[in-house]
Every structure is written in C-alpha cells, then in structure tokens.
Structure 1
Amino acid sequence: MSSDPWGRVDDAGTVYVRTADGEKVAGSWQAGSPEEALAYFERKYDGLVVEISLLERRVKTTDLSAKDAAAAIGHLREQVDAHHAVGDLEALRVRLDALTQSIEERREERKAHKAKQSEEARQAKEELVSEAEELAASEQWRAAGERLRALVDIWKGLPRLDRKADDELWHRFSHARSAFSKRRKAHFAQLDAQREEARQHKEKLVAEAQALSESRDWGPTAARYRDLMQEWKSAGRAQREHEEDLWSRFRGAQDVFFQARSAAFSERDSEQRENLTRKEELAAEAEKLLPITDLKAARAAFRSVNERWDAIGHVPRDARAKIEGRVHTVERAIQEAEEAEWRRSNPEARARAAGLTGQLQDAVDKLREQAGKARAAGNTAKADKLEKELAGRQALLEQALKGLEEFGG
C-alpha cells in the first residue's frame, strides 16, 4: 500500500483522498504501481489548482461577467466535490468560496455602478428635455435647430432607462422638437409669402423706374426716383434668387436717367461758366460809370449794359448773388442821382423848402429879439427859456437850409 499526506492506495488499487470528513474514494488504478496511481491523481489536483488560479486572475484583471464567473466556479466546485484528485481539496474549496464572495461583491459594485449610471443618464435626459422645451419657443431658427440636432446625438449616446421612464422623457423631447419644427415651418412660410409680396411690389417699382429712365424733366423725375428708393427700402427683401436681379434692373434704370442728367448739367454748367465770364465783363463795364458825373450818359450806357446782360442767360448759382450785386450797386447809384436831379428840378418842392426856411428864419429872429429884451430887463429865467427854444429852432433852420441847397440855391 502506498500513501502520502493527502491520499493512499490500497492493495486492491483503490485510491483514497483524505478530507475533513474522512477518506473519500478518489478513483481506481490498475495500470501500474501505487506510486504511479498517487502521482496521477496528484496531477489532477495540480490541474484544479491551475484552473482556479487562472479563474482568480481572470476575475481580478478582466471584465469577466459575474454570470460566466459563477458558472466557472460551479464547474470547478463540482470537480473538487467529486474528490477525483489527491491534495488539499478543502484549500481549493476555500479559494472557490473566496472567489464566490469576490464575484458577489463585484456584482453589487456593478449593480450600484449601473444604478448610478442610470440615475446620471436620467438626469442628463431630463436636462436635455428641459433645454429642448426652452428651444421650442426660440426664434433663433438656425442656432436652435442646430442645437436640437446636437441634442438628439447626445440622447443617442446615453444609456436607456427603464421603458416607462425612457418613453416619457422621449415623448417630451420629441414633442419639443416637433413644436419647434412646426413654428419654424410656419415662420418661413410666412416669410416666403412676405418675400413674394415684396417681389411683386419691387417688380412694379422696377417697371416705373424703367419708364422714367428716358425722362428729361430733371427735377420732378429725380424727386420721384428718391421716393421710389424709399419705397424700395421699405418693401423688404424678395427671395434671394430674385433680389439681385430686381436690384440690378432698378438701379440700371436710375443710372440711365442720372447719367443723362449729369451730362445735361455738365453742359449747362459749362454754358453758365461762360455766361459768368461775359457778365463779369459787363459788370466791370458798368462799374466804370461810377461815380455818376453825367447822368444822361450814364443812364444810356447802363441801359446798353442791361440789355446785353439780359440776353446772356443764367450763371452758376453760387456766383449769382455776387455778380448781380455788382450791377445793382451801379443801378442804385444811377437811381440816387436821378432822385437828386428830380429834387433839384421840382419847383413845388423847392418852394415848400424855401417857405419852411423863411418861416424858421423869422421864428429864430423873433426868439433872439425876445431873449435879448428879457435879458436886458433882468428876467434871467425867461431869457434862459427863450434861448433854449432858440437853439432848437436854429438847429431846424440849419437842416432846412441844407435841404434848400440840394435844390441849387
């Protein structure tokens, strides 16, 4: 009979393994010596040790699922419990029990981790739903639309919740997206209608602008073009594919008119500059009449200047006041000379002036005599009063005498 600390072989070739519960039959060996029998069953034990060690490493270092790990432990435990190996089977059971405890702890950790992930996913989806519901009321159509599409991608990347919770949140999320899409669709439908209305209005403006392009009624037509431009600005934008063409036609019609007006004004300005040169020559000719010494000759010469002046035509607006002022100065001088001549040659006016002068002279003489008598009589107050009145009448007399001189005597 052969034996070792964990097993023995009896004479009949039966192999036993020692356990805490006593010896258990490990198997039968008829192929050789008892030593070979023990060695064979010890190798089977070593194989179990290797398998358990590998399983321990897999549990520790890989993401082996709890289900697969439990199945592997169960398979090894069956082999250990079958006692078909010689060795410390209880030690193997202890290691398998430890593995089972480790797997159970790992299962609980994963369950807690999964619950945490689920809660985080729920919170994340609720935040996505809240943001989507806020975006549903936005009028930032492009930015909000892009953000909603991004939220869908984020949603797809989150774990699913339980069916009821996930379906409820998705329903709210989907409803918000649909509400935004309906509002955006309605907005752009209205915008399309407005742009079509703007296009039709601008077509009319283009037609009128083109009809006015050949007008030569510069002022009223230019004013109407300004009105058309204001209408254009207030009409709003047409569809993108029409707006540029409409503007090109509208602007082109204006260009035809304003280029023609510019050419006409350029020709007019050139003519008016020539007119200014000619009127400057006439103004210089008129100014040579000053001062007026021969009224009759000056009047005739000025009449000639005036007739040629009227025949010349307009000058530039900014030079008009100055050049006309020079001629008006000569005209006023002639008018003043004519008035002076008329006063000198008017008998009635001269007679009135002479009569007034005579009356004032008599009054002065009388007041002087009265003042002298009062002074001589010692009536100083009366004399002062009369002399004061005399001074006033003397001043009036001097003015009357100057007026009489204008009549030539």
Structure 2
Amino acid sequence: MTTDPWGRVDDDGTVYVRTSEGERVVGSWQAGAPDEALAFFRRKYDALVTEVELLEKRLRSTDLSASAAMAAIDKLRTAVTDAHAVGDLDALSRRLDALSGRAEERKVEQKQAQEQARGQAREIKERIVAEAERVAVETTHWKTGGERMLQLIEEWKKAPRADRPTEQALWKRMSAARNSFSKRRKAYFANLDQEREAVRADKERIVVEAEELAHSTDWGPTARAYRDLMQRWKNSGRADRASEDKLWARFKAAQDTFFDARNATFAERDAELRVNADAKERILAEAKAEISGIDDPRRARARLREYQEAWEEAGDLPRDVRDQLEGAFRQIEDGVRRAEDAEWERSSPEARARAKDTVDQLSQAISSLEAKLEKARAGGDTRRIKEHEAALEARRAWLVEAEKALSEMS
C-alpha cells in the first residue's frame, strides 16, 4: 500500500483521499505503480487549486459581480466536494468559504454603488430638467433656445437611469418644459409678421424723407439730417428680408446721390484752397526754424503772434491737409507755452522756496542717518549698518539733484 499525507493507494489499486470527514474513494489504478496513481490524482488536485487561485485573483483585482462570483464559488465547491483528486481538499473548502465571505461583501458594496449611481443619475437628470425649465421660461433667442432644448433631450437619453418613479416624474417635467417652450416660440412668430409690417411702414417713411433730400445743396444741415435718418433706420428694427433689401437699396441710392454731389463740390473748393496750403507750409517752415532758435520765451511769444496773424490771413485749408498743417502749427504754439511755463517755474519764489525746503530736509535726514550709522558701527549691528548705508547713499544722490535744481533757480 502506498500513502501520502492526503491519500493512499490500496493493494488492489483503489485510491483514497483523506478529509475531515474521513477517507473516501476517488478512483482506482491498475495500469502502473501506486506512486504514479498518487501523482495522477495530485495533478487533478493541483488543477482545482489553480481554479481557486484564479477566482481569488478575479475577485481581488477585477470588477467581477457578486452574483457571478457566487455562481463560480458554488461550482467550484461542488467540484471540490466531489473531486476525484488527492490533496488538502478541506483547505480548498476553507478558501472557498473565505471567497464566499468576500463575495457577500462585494454584493453589499455593489448594492451601495448601485444606489449611489442612481442618486447621481437623479442629480444629473434633475439638472437637465432644471435647465430645460429655465430655457422654457427665460429664453427669447428662439434658434439657440431650440438647439439647447434638443441638446438637453440628447443629454437625457445618454444619462444613466435613476429609479423608475423618479424617471417618470422627471420626464413629465421635461416634457412640460419642452411643450411650454414650443408654445412660447409659436406665439412669438405668430406676432412677428405684424411687427415686421409696422417696421416696413416706418422704414418706407424714412426712405421717402431720404429721397426728398437727395438733391439738396445745403451741405451741413442735410448731412446731419442723413445721420439722423440713419439712426432712425437702425433703431426701427427689421422688416421682412425682401422689403428690407429693397428699402435699403432706395435709402442708399438717395444718400449716395447727396454725398457724391457734396464730395464733388468740396473737391472743387479744395483745389481752389491749394494756394492757401502752400502759403501756410511756408509760414510753418519759417516759424519752426526761427522760434526754435529763440531762448527768451517773451521774444518767442512776440514772434509767434506775428506768425499767428500771418497764418490766419493765409485763409482756409483743403480738407486733405487741414489736420496735418493745423496740428504742426499747434505744436509750435505748445512749445512756446511750455517754455513760458518753465521760465515762470524757474523764476517763481514759491518754486525756489520749495526747492530750498527739499535741500534742507534732505540735509537733516542725512545728518540723522550719519549719527545712526555711527551708533550701529559702535554696536557692531551689521544689519543696521547695511540699512543705514543704503539709506544714506540714496539720500545723498537725491541731495545732489535737489541742490542742482536750486542752483538753476538762482
């Protein structure tokens, strides 16, 4: 008789396995040595061990459902109980018991996860419904509102499902919001034709006024009248597309007729004023050259007056160079004014007094810092020494500039 810790082979070739409930027959062996029989039935046991290990790994590292795990455990338990194998079958049963406990835990976890998922689904769909209700009540941009409502319907379809009563209640609200939006949109477009007809009539009146002004030669007031008519056009709203295009074509034709005639008149006038531009360019060049070389602001002002009189006598300028030349002459005037301001500031007693006060304050601050620096050096206070030296350096530089400014005012 051949044995091992978990089984034996009897002399007649019968193979037994030992369990906590005693020995039981697992097969017979007539084809070879008893050791070969035990090895054969141990391999069957090893195969069971492999299946148990694989199930343990799946339960540990995958999202295997509790129901699938329990079914696999029951199947393995039957296989272990009826196994024609030699090995520690009781240990396998205990491992299956442990797996059953883990599967029960997973069942609880999966139930909690399912409840949590339904709660999240409810929150998602409540948000979708709330947005649909807001669109139904607040939106007046019908195209974007309709597109948004369709998007919300698609979001609803793709969202996870909550419990049935919640789904039904929320869908009822969703349908009501969609119907409410559709009714508001239909009512709006039902009134739109009437409003567009009122706009068309208003723009017809604007066009008639524009056409009456098309041949006016009262350039300034008529140009302002056209600007007012354009503003009325913009403020009146929109008629239907066909009427809008026809009326705008008439309005623009009248406006172009007037402004083309005005531009032609102004172009002829500008040509006549070209001689004035030539004269003012000469005045500008002479003024720049002479006034920039005068150091005395009073003499510069007196000479500037003569150039200003000549500038006025030269007459109006063409529109295309008016801003350029007038701006250049104003720069000369501004330069003289700045020179006068600087001279007044330099000679002002108040300015000299302020400059003197600045010098005195800086001198006092330097004396105080020098005393503090000596005290810090005597005490070996490195941090204070650096602070006082930096402050002294800055204030001495400021004093040099202040004394220079005061000297220039003397």
**Considering the TM-score relative to the shorter chain, is it more than 0.5?**
yes
Indicate yes or no: 2:122 matched with 1:122. Answer: yes
Partner of 2:198: 197
Structure 2: which 5+ runs fail to align?
270-410
Q: Shift of residue 240 of structure 1?
A: 4.8
The TM-score, its normalising length taken from structure 1, stands at 0.56
Residue-by-residue CA offset, 1:165-213 (whole Å, 9 max, x unaligned): 2122012112212312321332244234322432344345435644664
Deviation at 1:100, TM superposition (A): 1.3
Q: Give the conservation status (yes or no) of the 8 Å contact 1:24–1:83.
A: no
Deviation at 1:127, TM superposition (A): 2.9
Residue 179 of structure 2 is aligned to residue 164 of structure 1: no
CA gap of 1:202–1:148, structure 2 versus 1, over 3 A, is same
Which residue of 1 is the match for residue 105 of structure 2? Answer: 105
Partner of 2:341: none
Aligned partners of 1:262, 1:246: CA distance in 2, in Å?
24
CA distance, structure 2, for counterparts of residue 139 and residue 39 of structure 1: 81
User: 1:227: how far off?
Assistant: 8.8
Q: Given residue 62 of structure 1, which amino acid in structure 2 is its aligned partner? A: T
Aligned to 2:94: 94
**Paired position in structure 2 for 1:178:** 179
Contact 1:17 1:83 in 2 (8 A): no
Question: Is 2:52 the partner of 1:52?
Answer: yes
Further displaced range: 73-82 or 257-266 = 257-266
Aligned to 1:362: none
Q: How much does 1:130 deviate?
A: 2.4
Distance verdict in 2 for CA 1:227–1:131, change over 3 Å: closer
Aligned residues: 268
- In structure 1, the residue matched to 2:307 is none
The equivalences for 1:2-41 within 5 A come to: 2-41=2-41
2: distance between equivalents of 1:27 and 1:108?
Answer: 41
In the alignment, what sits opposite 1:133? 133
- CA 1:213/1:162 → structure 2, altered by over 3 Å: closer, same or farther? same
- For 1:295-319, what per-residue CA distance to the aligned partner results, in whole angstroms no more than 9, with x for missing partners? xxxxxxxxxxxxxxxxxxxxxxxxx
- The 8 Å contact of residues 138 and 144 in structure 1, kept in 2 or not, is answered as no
Q: What residue in structure 2 maps to residue 85 of structure 1? A: 85
Counterpart CA distance in 2 for 1:230 and 1:7 is: 106
Q: Which structure 2 residues correspond to residues 133-152 of structure 1 after superposition, within 5 A?
A: 133-141=133-141, 144-145=145-146, 147-152=148-153
Identity %: 57
CA distance in 1, matches of 2:228, 2:53: 95
Q: Higher Cα Rg: structure 1 or 2?
A: 1
Mapped partners of 1:33, 1:143: distance in 2 = 86
Normalised by the size of structure 2, how large is the TM-score? 0.56
SS in 2 for 1:136: helix
Per-residue displacement from partner, 1:202-245 (whole Å, max 9, x unpaired)?
34543564466468999999999799668645643223565354
Tell me the equivalent position of 1:236. Answer: 237
Give the structure 1 partner of residue 249 of structure 2.
248
Whether contact under 8 Å (2:67, 2:107) holds in the other structure is no
Greater CA deviation, 19-28 or 143-152? 143-152
CA apart distance, 1:119: 1.2
Superposed CA deviations along residues 312-364 of structure 1, whole A, max 9, x for unmatched, are xxxxxxxxxxxxxxxxxxxxxxxxxxxxxxxxxxxxxxxxxxxxxxxxxxxxx
CA deviation after TM superposition for structure 1 residue 98, in Å: 0.8
Change (3 A) 1:221 1:21: closer
Alpha-carbon offset, residue 136 of structure 1: 1.5
1:383-406 Cα offsets, whole Å, 9 max, x none, are xxxxxxxxxxxxxxxxxxxxxxxx
Alpha-carbon offset, residue 36 of structure 1: 1.3
* Contact 2:122–2:162, Cα closer than 8 Å, also in 1: yes
Provide the aligned C-alpha RMSD in A: 3.6
Q: CA deviation at 1:30?
A: 1.7
Name structure 1 gaps, 5 residues minimum.
Answer: 269-409
- Which amino acid in structure 2 is aligned with residue 127 of structure 1? R
Amino acid across the alignment from 1:17: V
Separation in 2, partners of 1:124, 1:35: 66
CA distance in 2, matches of 1:229, 1:50: 89
Decide whether the 8 Å contact of 1:25 with 1:83 is kept in 2. no
Equivalent in the alignment of 1:272: none
**Cα drift, residue 116 of structure 1:** 0.9
Pairwise mapping of residues 358-369 of structure 1 onto structure 2 (< 5 A)? none
Distance 1:251 1:138 in 2: 38
Shift of 1:124: 2.6
Amino acid at match of 1:118: R
The answer to whether 1:74 aligns with 2:77 is no
Distance 1:238 1:168 in 2: 43
8 Å CA contact 1:26–1:83 kept in 2: the answer is yes
Give the whole-Å Cα distance in 2 for the aligned partners of 1:223 and 1:65.
81
Any conservation in 1 of the 2:2–2:8 contact (CA below 8 Å)? yes
* Offset at residue 117 of structure 1 (A): 1.2
What secondary structure is seen at the aligned counterpart in 2 of 1:131?
Answer: helix
